[in-house]
Amino acid sequence: MKALKLTWIAAALALLGCGGPVPADMFLTLSVSTYGVSVETAINGKADTFLSGGENGSMTGSRPINRLVGEGENEVTFLLKPLAADEGEILGPAFLATLEISIKGETVDTQAPGERVIFSRELSEAQRAAISAGEAVTITENFTVEKAELQAIKDSAS
């Protein structure tokens, strides 16, 4: 009976976002910006509709993904699909995705990477050319989350 009670408590804490690898008052914030492409974002294989879109030409979104990552290896996948360019379009397709660490009270700039970047990804010239030619492009970013490292970053910022 005691083991069942502990399992229930652990499940409740997981639902509340407690006990995960990201310390309290710290955020892993994923920001996605697109122009001329739509994006379908998946975090550890699960579609994220908030960080997907851009079918109308551009999109910018940013949100903490603390509850979507686990201790150890994690993955974010972006499926970029070309949009029809307007006649006379000078700018080509653009994409920026940044995963960064922030602490409660800090501002996250969705258009430029901050001080504690886990990854920041733009289109390569080959990817830009493929999208301009009407091809879809998939970008995958792998990263590791270690609770002790995050706690050390938080402690050093205090």
pLDDT 10s digits, 31-50: 999 999 999 999 999 999 99
Asked if the structure places residue 4 within a domain, the reply is no
Q: What are phi and psi of 143, to 5 degrees?
A: -150, 160
Residue 27: the pLDDT is 92
Residue 108: the pLDDT is 67
Total of domains in the chain: 1
Sign, CA torsion 18/21/23/26: negative
Residue ranges of the chain whose pLDDT lies below 70: 1-19, 85-91, 108-114
Q: What are phi and psi of 139, to 5 degrees?
A: -120, 130
- Global pTM value: 0.80
User: Looking at the chain, how many residues does it have?
Assistant: 158
Asked if the structure places residue 1 within a domain, the reply is no
Q: Which domain holds residue 123?
A: 24-157
Asked if the structure places residue 74 within a domain, the reply is yes
Asked if the structure places residue 11 within a domain, the reply is no
Residue 102: the pLDDT is 86
d(CA 24, CA 48): 23
Asked if the structure places residue 2 within a domain, the reply is no
The answer to whether residues 140 and 77 touch, using CB atoms and an 8 Å cutoff, is yes
Would you call 37 exposed, middle or buried from its count of C-beta atoms within 10 A (0-12, 13-18, 19+)?
buried
Tokens representing 158?
């205090």
